[in-house]
Amino acid sequence: MIKVRVPATSANLGPGFDSLGIALNIYNEYEFELKESKGLFFEGFEEEFQNEDNIIFMAIKKVFDKYDFKFNGIRIKIIKQDIPISRGLGSSSSCIVAGLIGAFALMNMEINRDEILSLAVDIEGHPDNVCPAIFGGLVSTIMVDNKKPLYNCVEVKDGIKFIALIPRFKLSTEKARAILPKEVLFGDCIYNVGRAALLISCFSNGNYALLKEATKDRIHERFRSKLIDNFDKVYNKSLELGALSCFLSGAGPTLMAIVDNKDISFVGNFTNFMKEQNINWDIKELKIDKHGAKILKGE
């Protein structure tokens, strides 16, 4: 029996569209077990996901097929599901990464995280969510010739915490992708490239006074914000209440605020604001997960 824990992730990270992601301390936990009986056995899943199209099983099968590993049956269980689904916090990436790591563990093979990344990108299509889920922390990543992922982990200076402002409605990645333009203006590319470089330097040396400008984006946020009720109201209020920056997490609809570690009033003040405005969002104070996915000791 194998247990795997995977952290949430916030991808796109301001101007880092499809290239920057960070792991955060919300977790999903999964359990895997090979069975003598033939078939797929699911626990904790809605009925529509209890089949061969289950993304966790697809990840497992990808590894088993690669290594020609034969099995009769497999049990897949969700132990804990704290990462909100379709909210821009990497719920699908957690499934993919858990399935891949679980498959290697079931085969009693060494966990090669670089190989897992390559397999995860084959499934996910881009690395900015799966990469921090695997390695933890802040990760800068690219695709070489649209085939091979390259990554670099960035050490983040202490001094900040992340506040996830999570709507209670889902936003599918497909819908969020569909609203994006087919072409991007040259000036907008320059705008984002400069801020992505500035953002990494802010995280590296702790100059967090620059975050407000460094997390601005012109490639995806202004388009996707149209799909999110109260986006402008929430965004502006977070800055008014002292957030160092605020940006769309992943494809949305979650907004991610960064605040000073010493700020003990932001969450309470923002909670009061949402009650006054009748905005039914959840708010979670988070820290960076520095370890990424890991195998937990089985019972």
Residues making up the annotated binding site for ATP are: 84-94
Residue with tokens 């996901």: 49
Q: Which helix (H) or strand (E) holds 29?
A: strand 20-35
Residues 6+ apart with CB under 8 A from 92: 55, 124, 129, 173
Listed residue (273, 40, 296, 15) closest to 128, CA to CA? 15
d(CA 88, CA 83): 10
d(CA 162, CA 243): 10
Listed residue (203, 200, 225, 6) closest to 120, CA to CA? 6
CA dihedral 114, 41, 172, 113 (to 10 degrees): -10
User: Both tokens of residue 54?
Assistant: 């289950």
Binding-site residue numbers are: 84-94
Residue with tokens 């301390």: 25
